[in-house]
Chain A
Amino acid sequence: GDSVTQMEGPVTLSEEAFLTINCTYTATGYPSLFWYVQYPGEGLQLLLKATKADDKGSNKGFEATYRKETTSFHLEKGSVQVSDSAVYFCALKELTGGGNKLTFGTGTQLKVEL
């Protein structure tokens, strides 16, 4: 079936550093791609998404571009803040026999220090 591979964490950065979290996917079709974020003690929440090749999703200073040629959807932010410390999940939406479902990567923990 379809799958998502993320870089392992934790990723530790200083405030205002540039962030990249790598995500690649394997899919038989053309899935929609997502980044979710999980803050400590909370459930996941949608950060951004892209539904077709070359789309760029963006939110809260984060962005990711759907690259079909490299099957990637890397998350980037130009200047991270301490408040960005969280676990980030890459996900794809696949169509199964019974409907749509989201498949998540294993998550990448980001720690931002002063």
Chain B
Amino acid sequence: DAGVIQSPRHEVTEMGQEVTLRCKPISGHNSLFWYRQTMMRGLELLIYFNNNVPIDDSGMPEDRFSAKMPNASFSTLKIQPSEPRDSAVYFCASSPGRLTDTGELFFGEGSRLTVL
């Protein structure tokens, strides 16, 4: 069975450029989460969706970040304009339901972003 699929796996870009990260959750999962991982701050929740609707975006650092989920099988995280401090590994995760039952998140392999 396919897991959570993220693309690109690696992205190197220059400051000021737009970055778009993509995620395909596991089929049938109706909750989707975007996390950012850095050495300094560990794993931070940026935003999560339930049934394609954003539920909590309090972790989104600033207006440069935006996330969408146009349908149940696709989500994007966009950074515009990008800055060097955005360099991190961005993880997408999905879960069946709203974590009420199992509490288990299924993570993708991550997108490593480097902003020069």
* A100 partner residues in chain B, CB cutoff 8 A: 98-100, 103
Asked whether, in the complex, the Cβ of B105 is within 8 Å of the Cβ of A41, the reply is no
Count residues on chain B whose CB falls below 8 Å from chain A CBs: 26
Q: What 1/0 mask marks residues of chain B from 85 to 116 whose CB sits below 8 Å from any chain A CB?
A: 00000010100001110111111111000000
The SS class assigned to the A binding surface is strand
Q: A32-B103, A99-B99 are in contact. Are A105 and B56 (CB under 8 A)?
A: no
Q: What 1/0 mask marks residues of chain B from 38 to 62 whose CB sits below 8 Å from any chain A CB?
A: 0001110100101000011000000
Asked whether, in the complex, the Cβ of A42 is within 8 Å of the Cβ of B103, the reply is no
Q: What 1/0 mask marks residues of chain A from 88 to 114 whose CB sits below 8 Å from any chain B CB?
A: 010001001111111111110000000
Residues of B59-97 whose CB lies within 8 A of A: 91, 93
Instruction: Give B7 Cβ to nearest chain A Cβ, in Å.
Output: 14
Count residues on chain A whose CB falls below 8 Å from chain B CBs: 25
* B21 partner residues in chain A, CB cutoff 8 A: none
Of A42, A46, A99, A107, most buried by chain B (CB within 10 Å of CB) is A99
Asked whether, in the complex, the Cβ of B105 is within 8 Å of the Cβ of A44, the reply is yes
Q: Contacting A43 at CB < 8 Å: which of B41, B48, B91?
A: B91
Instruction: Give A11 Cβ to nearest chain B Cβ, in Å.
Output: 16
Asked whether, in the complex, the Cβ of A101 is within 8 Å of the Cβ of B48, the reply is yes
Report how far A43 CA is from B42 CA in the complex, Å. 13
Given contacts A89-B43, A96-B56, A104-B43, 15 further A-B contacts (CB under 8 A): A32-B103, A43-B4, A43-B110, A44-B91, A49-B102, A49-B103, A99-B31, A99-B50, A101-B45, A101-B48, A102-B45, A102-B99, A102-B105, A106-B43, A107-B42
